[in-house]
Amino acid sequence: MNRDPRKIAALALLSAVLLAAGIYIIKYLPQTKPTLLEQIQGSDSIGCSDCGTQEVGVLGRERIGPEEFREMKLGEMRNAAMQGVLVGESLVASFPELNWQTQPLWYVLFIEATDALHSPATVFTFCVLRDWMQELDNQFHLLLILSDEASGEMVVELRAFFQDSATVLLDADDYLRIQLQIEPGAPRLAYLVDASGIVTSRLPPLRPETASTLRAHVELHVTADHAPGTMDRFAATHISQIEGTVWEYASLPHLANHSFPLQSVSRALPTLIYLFAVDCAPCEITGATAFSLAEAFDGQLNLVGLSFALSPIGIESARDYGRTYTHARTPQQLDWIERLPEAGADVSRFLDGIKTKSANYVNEAPILFPVFMDWDRRVSGAIGLGISPLPLWALYDKDGNFIEMFPAATQTTLDEGVYVETAFPPFDYLYSYLATYLDRLPQ
């Protein structure tokens, strides 16, 4: 059948015009979008999930060499794991116009506007803090700092949301973030600050599973005559403020693989701690590195696994807060919450299963090494490793003093034309560092 060339040309032109019009509408015409306040107060279409794992991509490697890229990423991850001002330091000079004495206790939090202020993690944080302040009769005050990407409209809406219970500041030129020593894109570290502007506690990110413990911690600061000590087990202790050695925190009551002979953990050798979780996807990949290191350095250093899992307190907190703030959770997060055990025997079976999985994690290793349970990350938090996402390596000398940490992740690499996920940092890097360290030790 013959087609009229003029009709074909006309149809092609019409299609091109319609496509151009569609692109213009999407790109340039104003879109209907709920205000930040409306999203905080209960939109069911909020952002993406807050994830505790990392992935080191391939972008940027064409501009620098692989070794420079690796050192750059490791530096960024290490800085994020060791971020923040210390307990006992003053914030007065950083906020010269702020009168700290007007409030008995301040909850100081920095939020990156690039984080999407209406993402589930941020919405959850805002709603929970507002409710805590009401429940505790406004005995603590929120100091909320927004990065300079935030708009003046966001500041106004957040002030309206929190009313008189929060001071909202816009951080011009990144000045306050730098003063608080917060790393861009890092997990949200918060501070409790007293009426004299002194940091009394560092707090890990506020999530459903940590919320009940953190609330108790805040309430203790509010009601006690004197603030708790700096070594709260659930606080995000900075590694430079650990009082004592890692061995003083190593009397862990829960050894997952009970058949492991603990006497083989020698106090005369350096120790490499491997933090992981059995349901952590990157940990499945970095686990092979742990097995290889255990075999390569057998008899030269101790390799100790520290397996994160939720305790009954963490499980109950995740259920209660997750169900209370359903509008601040994604469908995947809500599904995870609903699959948590309810109480009693169900919780016991769940915990036994986690311990069994943690023990089985090393069953295929050429050299068996001990795996301890790190319930709610209280142990890793107490020894200064509680801020970094999993997995994580940390090296200690034979006396239990901290030497170095290696935050881990997965990386996408090109292998014979196929993109594959591999461990970051790779085995060769860790092997080289550990071998050099051991060679330098006095014989």
The model's pLDDT over 111-154, given as tens digits with 9 standing for 90+, comes to: 887 655 678 888 899 999 999 999 999 999 999 999 888 888 88
d(CA 264, CA 268): 11
* pLDDT average, residue stretch 424-443: 91
pLDDT at 208: 93
pLDDT at 16: 58
- Residue 50 scores a pLDDT above 50: no
pLDDT at 347: 87
* pLDDT average, residue stretch 233-260: 65
Give the tokens for residue 406: 């290696």
User: Which range is least confidently modeled, 153-157, 185-189, 375-379?
Assistant: 185-189
- Residue 34 scores a pLDDT above 70: no
The gap between the terminal CA atoms of the chain, to the nearest Å, is: 91
- Residue 414 scores a pLDDT above 90: no
Closest Cα partner for 248 from 225, 231, 236, 223? 231
User: Which range is least confidently modeled, 45-54, 197-206, 220-229?
Assistant: 45-54
pLDDT at 249: 58
pLDDT at 196: 95
Q: What is the DSSP letter of 63?
A: T
Amino acid letter for position 76: E
Domain spans of the chain, in order of start? 80-223, 242-440
d(CA 276, CA 127): 30
HEC string of 149-217? CCCHHHHHHHHHHHHHHEEEEEEHHHHHHHHCCCCCCCCCCEEEEECCCEEEEEECCCCHHHHHHHHHH
**Angle ∠(132,225,89) on CA atoms, nearest 5:** 80
pLDDT at 35: 41
Burial of 426 (0-12, 13-18, 19+ CB in 10 A): middle
pLDDT band for position 318 (cuts 50, 70, 90):
very high
Beta bridge partners of 409: 424
User: Which range is least confidently modeled, 166-170, 244-248, 264-268, 334-338?
Assistant: 244-248
**How many CB atoms within 10 Å of residue 138?**
14
d(CA 394, CA 385): 8
- Residue 22 scores a pLDDT above 90: no
Give the tokens for residue 170: 């816009």
pLDDT at 193: 95
* pLDDT average, residue stretch 242-260: 61
d(CA 166, CA 179): 20
pLDDT at 246: 66
Amino acid letter for position 82: M
User: For the structural domain made of 80-223, what CATH number should be given?
Assistant: 3.40.30.10
pLDDT at 136: 92
- Residue 46 scores a pLDDT above 80: no
- Residue 231 scores a pLDDT above 80: no
Which residue did the predictor score with more confidence, 2 or 188? 188
Q: What are phi and psi of 95, to 5 degrees?
A: -130, 70
User: Which range is least confidently modeled, 9-23, 206-220, 280-294?
Assistant: 9-23
Answering whether pTM is above 0.85, one says no
pLDDT at 38: 40
Which residue did the predictor score with more confidence, 281 or 9? 281
- Residue 32 scores a pLDDT above 60: no
**Mean pLDDT over all residues of the chain?**
79
- Asked whether this chain's domains 80-223 and 242-440 adopt the same fold, the reply is yes
Residues of the chain with pLDDT > 90, as a percent, come to 28
Four-way CATH pick for 242-440: 3.40.50.300, 3.40.640.10, 3.30.450.20, 3.40.30.10:
3.40.30.10
Amino acid letter for position 259: S
pLDDT at 52: 41
Q: What is the DSSP letter of 398?
A: T
- Residue 229 scores a pLDDT above 80: no
392: helix, coil or strand?
strand
d(CA 43, CA 201): 33
* pLDDT average, residue stretch 63-85: 75
- Residue 430 scores a pLDDT above 90: yes
pLDDT band for position 106 (cuts 50, 70, 90):
very high
* pLDDT average, residue stretch 336-355: 85
328: helix, coil or strand?
helix
Closest Cα partner for 129 from 152, 108, 156, 157? 108
